[in-house]
């Protein structure tokens, strides 16, 4: 079904033509989220509170990536869960950083939104929201940003992790709010940060969502797994990825960890624009390939200019792979 040799060839050609990094923590350690790093440096003399909104193993990578930046510039910080955050009394000198992710959409728990709303009501210090994807429907955004119009905080900085969210939030946020696009903080991690050493990698790994964010038109692939559902620990989740020669997925952080581990990967859509937007903003330059439609796809003949565009051609009619529509997507 897949041609691993072609995916690896496109991956190698793409990496040779791109520069994936934008800044440095130190002289030797590369960092991708350079604008987040700049803000950390600006407030390095103040204590930070990092709020973890919750989520899956991909969110844990987001937390680790931001904490790596913080440690790199010598921030004094503590990390707390959302449940701890709602009980905590905040000092005005504390800078509160809500970790980024994909929780600012209607179908998930909404804890990043709830944390922001609480801060707008009770905190008079600096509030930072890490690189997020925001649902862009105007009514939803107005509800999320309602408290920003008359805030208590001295300064509000909202990061997005791709251009679509940045444009929408910038359009609806008050002028005094700083809206900045920067990369998902998980991309600051290296294989060493994850405690992973290269092993013998075999086979194509198909990682497909089976949750609220699965695309309506989902491929039925016998060997596919949803790693969030099947893995008990972050270490097990990472090891599954590390064992593969190529990864095909609609889970964003599976593609991100593939790029960290230098594993050729193809990413395709979830149920809204998130995957495509983050791929265009961050992963395209790291050699992850993109397919506009879910697999199966024909990788025997690459799209003209695929080495530069990072896109693979699609040809679903060539394969006898069953398709079904998810009724509860």
Q: Among candidates 191, 160, 163, 164, which has minimal Cα distance to 256?
A: 191
* Rounded CA separation 15/283 (Å): 11
Range from 44-48, 122-126, 256-260, 298-302 carrying the lowest mean pLDDT: 298-302
Tokens of 306: 């695929």
**Residue 28 pLDDT > 80, yes or no?**
no
Quick one: average pLDDT of 213-221? 80
Does residue 29 share a domain with residue 12? no
Domain boundary among 126, 148, 182: 182
Does residue 149 share a domain with residue 11? no
User: In the β-sheet with 246-249, what is the strand arrangement from edge to edge?
Assistant: 204-207, 246-249, 265-267, 289-290
**pLDDT given for residue 312 in this prediction:** 59
Quick one: average pLDDT of 307-322? 43
Burial class (CB in 10 A: 0-12, 13-18, 19+), 325: exposed
Does residue 230 share a domain with residue 113? no
Domain boundary among 156, 182, 208: 182
Number of independent structural domains in the chain: 2
Does residue 178 share a domain with residue 210? no
**pLDDT given for residue 197 in this prediction:** 79
**pLDDT given for residue 59 in this prediction:** 97
Total residue length of the chain:
329
Q: Among candidates 2, 307, 317, 278, which has minimal Cα distance to 134?
A: 278
Does residue 147 share a domain with residue 68? yes
Does residue 250 share a domain with residue 175? no
**Residue 10 pLDDT > 50, yes or no?**
yes
Encode pLDDT of 252-310 as tens digits: 999 999 999 999 999 999 999 999 999 999 999 999 999 987 655 444 434 445 555 66
Residue 190 located in a structural domain: no
Quick one: average pLDDT of 95-110? 94
Q: pTM of the entire structure?
A: 0.84
**pLDDT given for residue 176 in this prediction:** 86
Residue % of the chain over a pLDDT of 70: 78
Residue 193 located in a structural domain: no
**pLDDT given for residue 123 in this prediction:** 92
Does residue 11 share a domain with residue 30? no
Encode pLDDT of 183-199 as tens digits: 999 999 999 999 987 77
Mean pLDDT of the chain: 83
**175 falls in which pLDDT band (50, 70, 90)?**
confident
**Residue 25 pLDDT > 80, yes or no?**
no
Does residue 55 share a domain with residue 128? yes
Range of the domain at 61: 23-182
Does residue 127 share a domain with residue 269? no
**Residue 217 pLDDT > 80, yes or no?**
no
Does residue 232 share a domain with residue 173? no
**pLDDT given for residue 7 in this prediction:** 56
Phi/psi for 29 (5° steps) reads -105, 115
**Residue 174 pLDDT > 90, yes or no?**
no
Residue 187 located in a structural domain: no
* Residue with more model confidence, 267 or 152: 267
Encode pLDDT of 11-20 as tens digits: 555 544 444 3
Does residue 114 share a domain with residue 49? yes
Q: Return the CATH number at 78.
A: 3.40.50
Q: Among candidates 196, 188, 292, which has minimal Cα distance to 236?
A: 196
Does residue 89 share a domain with residue 145? yes
Residues 6+ apart with CB under 8 A from 250: 207, 208, 209, 214, 215, 267, 268, 269, 270, 275, 294
């Amino acid at each position: 079904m897949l041609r691993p040799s072609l995916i690896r060839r496109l991956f190698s050609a793409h990496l040779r033509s791109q520069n994936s990094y934008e800044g440095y923590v130190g002289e030797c350690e590369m960092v991708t989220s350079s604008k987040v790093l700049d803000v950390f440096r600006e407030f390095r003399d103040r204590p930070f509170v990092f709020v973890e909104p919750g989520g899956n193993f991909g969110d844990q990578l987001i937390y680790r990536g931001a904490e790596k930046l913080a440690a790199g510039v010598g921030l004094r910080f503590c990390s707390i869960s959302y449940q701890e955050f709602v009980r905590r009394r905040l000092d005005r000198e504390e800078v509160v950083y809500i970790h980024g992710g994909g929780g600012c959409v209607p179908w998930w728990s909404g804890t990043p939104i709830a944390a922001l709303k609480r801060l707008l009501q009770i905190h008079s210090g600096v509030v930072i929201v890490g690189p997020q994807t925001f649902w862009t429907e105007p009514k939803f955004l107005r509800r999320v940003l309602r408290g920003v119009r008359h805030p208590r905080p001295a300064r509000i900085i909202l990061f997005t992790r791709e251009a679509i969210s940045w444009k929408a939030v910038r359009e609806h946020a008050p002028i005094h709010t700083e809206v900045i696009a920067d990369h998902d903080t998980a991309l600051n991690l290296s294989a060493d940060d994850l405690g992973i050493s290269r092993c013998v990698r075999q086979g194509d790994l198909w990682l497909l969502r089976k949750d609220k964010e699965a695309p309506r038109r989902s491929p039925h692939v016998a060997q596919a797994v949803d790693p969030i559902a099947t893995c008990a620990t972050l270490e097990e989740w990472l090891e599954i990825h590390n064992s593969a020669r190529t990864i095909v997925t609609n889970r964003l952080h599976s593609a991100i960890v593939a790029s960290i581990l230098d594993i050729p990967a193809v990413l395709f859509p979830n149920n809204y624009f998130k995957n495509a937007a983050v791929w265009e903003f961050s992963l395209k330059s790291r050699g992850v390939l993109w397919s506009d439609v879910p697999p199966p796809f024909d990788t025997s003949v690459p799209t003209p200019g695929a080495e530069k565009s990072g896109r693979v051609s699609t040809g679903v009619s060539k394969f006898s792979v069953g398709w079904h529509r998810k009724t509860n997507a």
